[in-house]
């Protein structure tokens, strides 16, 4: 090979690739407003994006799969948690969801919490080509949350199915958070007859308020 | 060394070496947080801050090394002194000050909050000024003689591209997907574009000088290699556009083009081995030679093989956002860029100090320590990542539970990191000794 041929490879390689790339980039930028639901991107979301950056959440958490690998990916967190839960969590992570590995309390202002929740809610709507993918095998594995511990300890699975495990006397609870909010579930636990006078589900009003709270939190988070 | 102003490189190399040491300290702290859940530093130096400092130090010491290397090479290529020594020294001080400010700022919670680009916006503008001074100085030096060698041209092209891409990481976007779209123009087009040009040129220069092979041969292959790097790497940016809100045709474009990215890196290995075999002179500097050959090989495994392993969308959908990426990031940055800089330190330092021979045993030992323990780091993080991808993504286990199953591999990783750190300490001692040696 001669030097001039080598140079031609360099120049043409670069030019061709750059041309394809620039064209596709242009096309992507045209399509992205629709794919990211930009019509829902209001000033709260923008403020929330800045909160996300200001506290450098991204060097612990991944978002869109990018960032630190120390904490859960939050791209689709609003599909599994509701805004009220995340709000309480962000104000005091340790209390609302105690885990061995901890998220520090960042002492966010109320407005900042509201904004970042709006931001995460908007991110949840981005079309990510179905990432993260649905698991190939659905299993019932522990999350280690306190509510789950109560669930197991009280033997709710005797009557309820959760992620394919348990009995069939009562309804499947795998996605119960999707149709019932926390207050409703708390009422169900304390007095099942309040919803269905003929209910055969036992009352759990004897549990401590904390256990009820944890349990309701956990179930409300299942979507 | 033929020109007085090549000595400018010395201070750049010294700062780079110190920052390299610091990078490893913050790496060990960050890693410990994976091994033990309890974090005594959680409110002083939480994971996000220590990670930000760890990766910023990495990028900054590599940039100091590239700049020093450029100041060393350009006088010899252009056959003249550097245009302005004053500017070169001013630029060094300014960059160092910005670096220190950034790190102190992170510790105080002053951050822009995008990975790798955490520097607050004012500091980013400062960095742009540093880059402009540097490019001006280099360009004016080249213009003094207008001896346009291919090595010089590729080096300058790479540096201009490096500075230019940084601009895409400065501005705040309302839309997170847009922000990440441009973010990859910086991160990907740096490591799989601009930086490859810079290191390709520097490596070509060093191999030519070390082995005495013809310039014509070296430059011809340099053209082909960087040409293929850009051909595959530019559209290859698409391997980051699979899942971030970008259209799905990137699964094809990104997947296919990036799958060929290892090819030019393989050529570099073949090329390096060939020039060493066909050398025209003895190579007394065994340490520099070890780093040069090692760099080619580790670059290929870290970037080429480890990169290829998860670049196809069918695989990437499972591994994206897991420790598999961390494994590749460590291996590739070390193999391609840390090793290039270490090669350059050992290539240039004896000449800057006017040494014809020097004791090489500690240098060679540190080479083997760093390379083998980096291999273990890549392996342990890689296994942790596969465990994570399988349990969390395939089985649907939740994130925190999965982490428990990865603990063993985090421990192996962290112990290996101490082995690596031992290699770095050896290097720093050896380097300090060389820097003070008299001929
Ligand atoms: C030459 C030096 C290279 C370096 C220094 C490097 C470094 C990195 C780093 C640091 C990341 C993580 C970025 C982040 O999310 O924070 C990354 C991601 C990635 N790299 Fe490389 N890389 C190199 C070459 C390559 C090559 C040649 C390929 C493919 C053949 C490749 C494939 C990938 C892929 C697919 C990802 C995305 C992983 C994910 O899904 O998150 N890399 N690289
Ligand atoms: Fe890439």
Q: Which bound ligand lies closest to the C-alpha atom of A64?
A: 1
**Nearest alpha carbon to residue B193 among B339, B336, B340:** B336
CA of B324, nearest ligand number: 1
Contact: B113, A128; criterion CB under 8 Å: no
A89, A91, A95, A100 alpha-carbon torsion, rounded to 10°: 70
pLDDT above 60: residue A141: no
Q: Tell me the C-alpha distance between B352 and B2, whole Å.
A: 10
Q: Which of A28, A52, A139 lies closest to B247 in CB terms?
A: A28
How far is B105 from B123, CA to CA, in rounded Å?
A: 10
- CATH code: domain B4-436 is 1.20.210.10
Size of interface A-B (CB pairs under 8 A): 232
pLDDT tier for residue A143 given thresholds of 50, 70 and 90: low
Residue A167's SS3 state is coil
Average pLDDT (A215-223) is 92
* Summary mean pLDDT of chain A: 90
Q: Which of A80-94, B288-302, B346-360 has the lowest mean pLDDT?
A: A80-94
Q: What is the pLDDT of residue B272?
A: 97
Strand partners, B161: none
Tokens of B236: 């290859």
Nearest CA to ligand 1 atom 4: B332
pLDDT level of residue A170 (50, 70, 90 thresholds): confident
Q: Is the CB of B239 under 6 A from ligand 1?
A: yes
Q: How far is CA B359 from CA B239, B345, B383, B434, B438, in A?
A: 45, 15, 38, 9, 13
Distance, CA B192 to ligand 2 centroid (Å)?
6
> Of A159-173, B119-133, B224-238, where does mean pLDDT reach its minimum?
A159-173
A66 forms beta bridges with A63
Measured from the alpha carbon of residue B257, the closest ligand is 1
Please list, in sequence order, all residues whose beta carbon lies within 8 angstroms of the beta carbon of residue A221, skipping any fewer than 6 positions away. Answer: A80, A81, A82, A85, A147, A177
B208 CB neighbour count, 10 Å cutoff: 18
Q: Give the lowest-confidence range in A108-117, A147-156, B135-144, B209-218.
A: A147-156
DSSP per-residue codes, A185-213: HHHHHH-GGGT-TT--SPP-TTS-HHHHH
On whether any CB of chain A is under 8 Å from the CB of B81, the answer is: no
By the 10 Å C-beta count (0-12 exposed, 13-18 middle, 19+ buried), A104 is classed as: middle
Q: Which atom of ligand 1 is nearest to the CA of A65?
A: 41
Distance B234 CA to ligand 2 centre (A): 9
Q: Which residues in B lie closer than 8 A to residue A100 (C-beta atoms)? A: 37-38, 400
Q: Which of B38, B46, B51, B113 to mutate to test the interface with A (most CBs of A within 10 A)?
A: B113
DSSP code per residue over B285-338: -HHHHHHHHHHHHHHIIIIIIHHHHTTSHHHHHHHTTSHHHHHHHHHHIIIIII
Compute, in angstroms, the gap from residue B140 CA to the centroid of ligand 2: 33
**Ligand 1: does its nearest atom lie under 6 Å from the Cβ of A66?**
yes
For residue A139, what pLDDT is reported? 47
- Sequence-separated (6 or more) residues with CB below 8 Å from residue A169: A158, A159, A160, A200
For residue A198, name the pLDDT band (cuts at 50, 70, 90): confident
Mean pLDDT of B59-79: 98
Which uninterrupted H or E stretch holds A62? strand A62-63
pLDDT given for residue B47 in this prediction: 98
Q: What is the mean pLDDT of residues B129-158?
A: 97
Q: What per-residue confidence (pLDDT) applies to A98?
A: 73
Residue nearest to atom 5 of ligand 1 (CA): B333
Buried b (16+ CB within 10 A) or exposed e, A196-206: eeeeebeebee
Judged against a pLDDT cut of 80, whether residue A142 lies above it is answered with: no
CB proximity A141 to B under 8 Å = yes
What is the secondary structure of B237-271 as a DSSP string?
GGGGSSSSS--TTHHHHHHHHHHTTHHHHHHHHHH
Ligand 1: which atom is nearest the Cα of residue A66?
15
pLDDT in tens, B222-252: 999 999 999 999 999 999 999 999 999 999 9
Is residue B123 predicted with pLDDT exceeding 70?
yes
CB contact under 8 A, B397 and A141: yes
Residue whose CA lies nearest to ligand 1 atom number 33: B307
Q: What is the Å distance from ligand 2's center to B107 Cα?
A: 29
| Per-range mean pLDDT, top range of A97-111, A126-140, A147-161, B126-140 | B126-140
B214 CB near a chain A CB, below 8 Å? no
pLDDT confidence band for A140 (50 / 70 / 90): very low
Q: How far apart are CA B381 and CA B413, in angstroms?
A: 6
Instruction: Report how far ligand 2's centroid is from the alpha carbon of B239 (Å).
Output: 6
Q: Cβ contact (<8 Å) for A14 and B241?
A: no
φ, ψ of residue B331 to 5 degrees: the values are -65, -45
Least Cα distance to A90 among A112, A75, A70, A68 occurs for A112
pLDDT at A95: 81
Q: How far is the CA of B311 from the centre of ligand 1 (A)?
A: 8
Place A109 in a pLDDT band, splitting at 50, 70 and 90.
very high
Ligand 1: which residue has its CA nearest to atom 11? B329
pLDDT tens-digit series, residues B380-434: 999 999 999 998 998 877 798 899 899 999 999 999 999 999 999 999 999 999 9
Question: What's the pLDDT score for residue A6?
Answer: 97
A41 with B181: Cβ contact below 8 A = no
Cβ-based neighbours of A198, under 8 Å, separated by 6 or more: none
Give tens-digit pLDDT for B260-285.
999 999 999 999 999 999 999 999 99
Chain B residue with CA closest to A73: the answer is: B321
B38 Cβ contact partners less than 8 Å away, ≥ 6 residues apart = A100
Residue with tokens 């970042």: A116
Q: In this predicted model, what pLDDT tens digit does every residue of B316-339 receive, in sequence order? A: 999 999 999 999 999 999 999 999
Residue A162: pLDDT band (50, 70, 90) is: confident
State how far residue B220 is from chain A, nearest Cα, in angstroms.
5
Q: Is the CB of B262 within 6 Å of ligand 1?
A: yes
Q: How many angstroms separate the CA atoms of B150 and B223, rounded?
A: 8
Torsions phi, psi for B55 (to 5 deg): -80, -30
Pick the more confident residue, B408 or B1.
B408
Domain ranges of chain B: 4-436
**pLDDT the model gives residue B338:** 98
Task: For ligand 1, atom 10, name the residue with the nearest CA.
Answer: B329
**Cβ-based burial of B186 (10 A; exposed 0-12, middle 13-18, buried ≥19):** buried
Ligand nearest to the CA of B189: 2
Of all residues in chain B, the one with the smallest CA distance to A129 is B243
**Cα dihedral B174, B178, B183, B186 sign:** negative
| pLDDT for residue A204 | 86
Mean pLDDT calculated for residue range B71-75: 98
């Amino acid at each position: 090979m001669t030097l001039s041929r080598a140079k031609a490879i360099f120049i043409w390689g670069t030019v061709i690739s750059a041309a394809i790339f620039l064209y596709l980039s242009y096309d992507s930028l045209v399509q992205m407003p629709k794919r990211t639901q930009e019509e829902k991107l209001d000033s709260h979301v923008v403020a929330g994006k800045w909160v996300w950056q200001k506290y450098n959440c991204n060097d612990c958490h991944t978002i869109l799969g990018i960032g630190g690998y120390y904490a859960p990916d939050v791209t689709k967190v609003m599909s599994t948690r509701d805004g009220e839960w995340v709000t309480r969590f962000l104000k005091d992570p340790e209390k609302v969801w105690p885990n061995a590995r901890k998220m520090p309390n960042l002492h966010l202002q109320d407005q900042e919490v509201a904004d970042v929740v709006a931001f995460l809610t908007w991110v949840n709507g981005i079309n990510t080509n179905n990432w993260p993918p649905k698991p190939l095998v659905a299993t019932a594995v522990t999350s280690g949350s306190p509510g789950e511990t109560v669930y197991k300890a009280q033997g709710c699975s005797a009557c309820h199915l959760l992620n394919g495990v348990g009995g069939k006397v009562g309804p499947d609870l795998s996605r119960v958070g999707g149709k019932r909010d926390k207050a409703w579930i708390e009422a169900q636990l304390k007095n099942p007859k309040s919803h269905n006078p003929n209910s055969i589900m036992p009352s759990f009003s004897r549990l401590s308020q904390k256990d009820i709270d944890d349990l309701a939190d956990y179930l409300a988070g299942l979507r | 060394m033929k020109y007085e102003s090549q000595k400018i490189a010395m201070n750049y190399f010294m700062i780079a070496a110190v920052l390299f040491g610091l990078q490893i300290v913050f790496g060990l702290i960050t890693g410990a947080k994976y091994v033990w859940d309890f974090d005594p530093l959680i409110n002083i130096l939480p994971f996000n801050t220590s990670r930000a400092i760890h990766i910023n130090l990495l990028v900054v010491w590599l940039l100091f090394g590239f700049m020093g290397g450029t100041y060393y090479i350009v006088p010899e290529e252009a056959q003249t002194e550097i245009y302005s020594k004053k500017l070169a020294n001013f630029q060094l001080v300014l960059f160092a000050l910005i670096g220190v400010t950034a790190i102190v700022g992170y510790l105080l919670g002053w951050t822009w909050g995008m990975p790798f680009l955490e520097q607050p916006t004012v500091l980013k503008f400062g960095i742009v000024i540093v880059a402009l001074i540097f490019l001006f100085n280099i360009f004016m030096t080249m213009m003094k003689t207008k001896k346009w060698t291919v090595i010089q041209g590729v080096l300058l092209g790479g540096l201009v591209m490096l500075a230019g891409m940084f601009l895409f990481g400065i501005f705040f976007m309302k839309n997170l997907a847009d922000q990440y779209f441009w973010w990859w123009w910086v991160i990907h087009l740096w490591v799989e574009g601009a930086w490859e040009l810079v290191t390709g040129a520097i490596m070509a220069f060093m191999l030519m000088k070390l082995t005495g092979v013809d310039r014509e041969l070296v430059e011809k292959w340099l053209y082909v290699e960087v040409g293929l790097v850009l051909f595959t790497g530019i559209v290859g940016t698409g391997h980051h556009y699979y899942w971030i809100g970008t259209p799905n045709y990137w699964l094809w474009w990104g997947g296919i083009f990036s799958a060929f990215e290892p090819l030019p890196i393989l050529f570099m290995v073949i090329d390096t081995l060939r020039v060493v075999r066909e050398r025209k002179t003895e190579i007394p500097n065994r340490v520099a030679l070890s780093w040069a050959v090692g760099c080619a090989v580790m670059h290929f495994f870290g970037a080429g093989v480890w990169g290829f392993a998860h670049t196809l969308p069918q695989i990437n959908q499972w591994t994206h956002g897991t420790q598999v990426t961390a494994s590749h990031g460590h291996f590739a940055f070390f193999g391609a860029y840390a090793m290039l800089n270490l090669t350059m330190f050992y290539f240039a330092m004896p000449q800057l100090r006017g040494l014809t021979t020097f004791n090489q045993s500690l240098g060679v030992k540190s080479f083997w320590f760093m390379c083998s323990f980096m291999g273990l780091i890549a392996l342990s993080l890689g296994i942790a990542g596969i465990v994570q991808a399988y349990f969390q993504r395939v089985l649907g286990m939740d994130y925190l539970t999965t982490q428990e199953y990865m603990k063993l591999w985090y421990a192996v990783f962290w112990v290996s990191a101490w082995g690596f750190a031992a290699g770095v300490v050896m290097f720093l001692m050896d380097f300090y000794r060389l820097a003070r040696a008299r001929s």
